[in-house]
Amino acid sequence: MRRVVGVLAIAAMLSAALSAQEVSTPQTARQALLEMFFSKTPGTFVKHLPAVTSAALEKSGALANLQQYSLLTSQLQTQGTNFQTFETGSVLLSGEDPKTGQKLEVTVENDALHGDQDDIELSFQTYKNGQGQRTPFMPRMTFTMKQEAQVWKLNEISVTVRLPLADPDLLKAVTENMKAREGANGSGTPHLQVATSAAGSDAQVLGAMRTILTAEITYATTYPRIGFTCTLSDLDGFGGGEPNEHQAMLINSGLASGKRFGFVFTLSGCGGGPATSFHLSAVPNANPFGRKAFCADQSGTIRSAEDGNPSICFASGTQVQ
């Protein structure tokens, strides 16, 4: 009987020790990265930013605008996207839109841990109705995580794009585009098709809007004495030398010109010193077929107006999903 009791006691002690070990297991860099973008708990995005970055954002007043990035889970669920995240294994994230049959899979190509730094390299693959979609452009992102006060922080993001010039899909796309241009020179109808394509899609315009919004936050953080800027050229990325308040090198020169994808992009409403607010609008540039107008402010929320009127967009525009 004593022997049985002794065995049970040892088993209980081992169980308790294992449980304590599980509880004290530190968070991995990969878990921290997932928590940063997909946790439903408010403040997790900022939690995994370097302390100096959080302090600068808080001082500039831009910290509150970043809270939206920690709510990606809720946003995706609202849009009806089914997705899963994985803390181990080759797949980091898998998301599918049941309405369109499109699926995105984010794969961990390399996870290099060196002391208090972990470089997580990711690749992206899209599927349509279960079939992998080939593309000659193969972007990869590397998230560099560093430990700070025993918490993994996102220290750097790098993006690389692979462009294989001998890829058959790329060659096919280029040659088909050249044939289409040749056809446009021979008849009137293709000209209309080329002009419509040059105008750009709503997705391209929205992408440009988000680029400018992100640049504004970075600008206000970098130059807190000025705050937000209402001069697109201040965000320009062209030129040599070091970035400065009149050439912050945050967006490309094409977008900084204010005219892109058949739209005119305008910044306005930068009141105060430092400026704590701004308005961004994208209005169709004399498009005969009529397009939406898009608008946003320092909150980062993008809205649209069907009639192309920016005033209506700011007053009662429909939020873009």
- Co-location of 253 and 173 in the same domain: no
- Co-location of 177 and 257 in the same domain: no
Residues 237 and 250: beta-carbon distance below 8 Å: yes
Q: Is the pLDDT of residue 226 over 80?
A: yes
Range 226-237 burial, b when 16+ CB lie within 10 A, else e: bbbbbebebbbb
Question: Which is more confidently placed, 282 or 188?
Answer: 282
- Co-location of 44 and 105 in the same domain: yes
Report phi then psi at 128, rounded to 5.
-130, 115
Q: Is residue 231 part of a domain?
A: yes
pLDDT in tens, 7-40: 455 555 555 555 544 456 889 999 999 988 887 7
Peptide bond into 50 cis (omega under 30): no
Q: Is the pLDDT of residue 294 over 90?
A: yes
Report phi then psi at 152, rounded to 5.
-75, 130
pLDDT in tens, 118-156: 999 998 888 877 777 766 666 788 999 999 999 999 999
CA distance 108 to 88: 10
- Looking at 192, 211, 246, the residue that finishes a domain is 192
Q: How confident is the model at residue 198 (pLDDT cuts 50, 70, 90)?
A: very low
Whole-prediction pTM: 0.48
Residues in Cβ contact with 27 at an 8 Å cutoff, skipping those fewer than 6 apart: 35, 151, 152
- Co-location of 182 and 245 in the same domain: no
Q: Is the pLDDT of residue 195 over 50?
A: no
- Co-location of 135 and 176 in the same domain: no
Q: Residue 109: give the domain boundaries.
A: 29-163
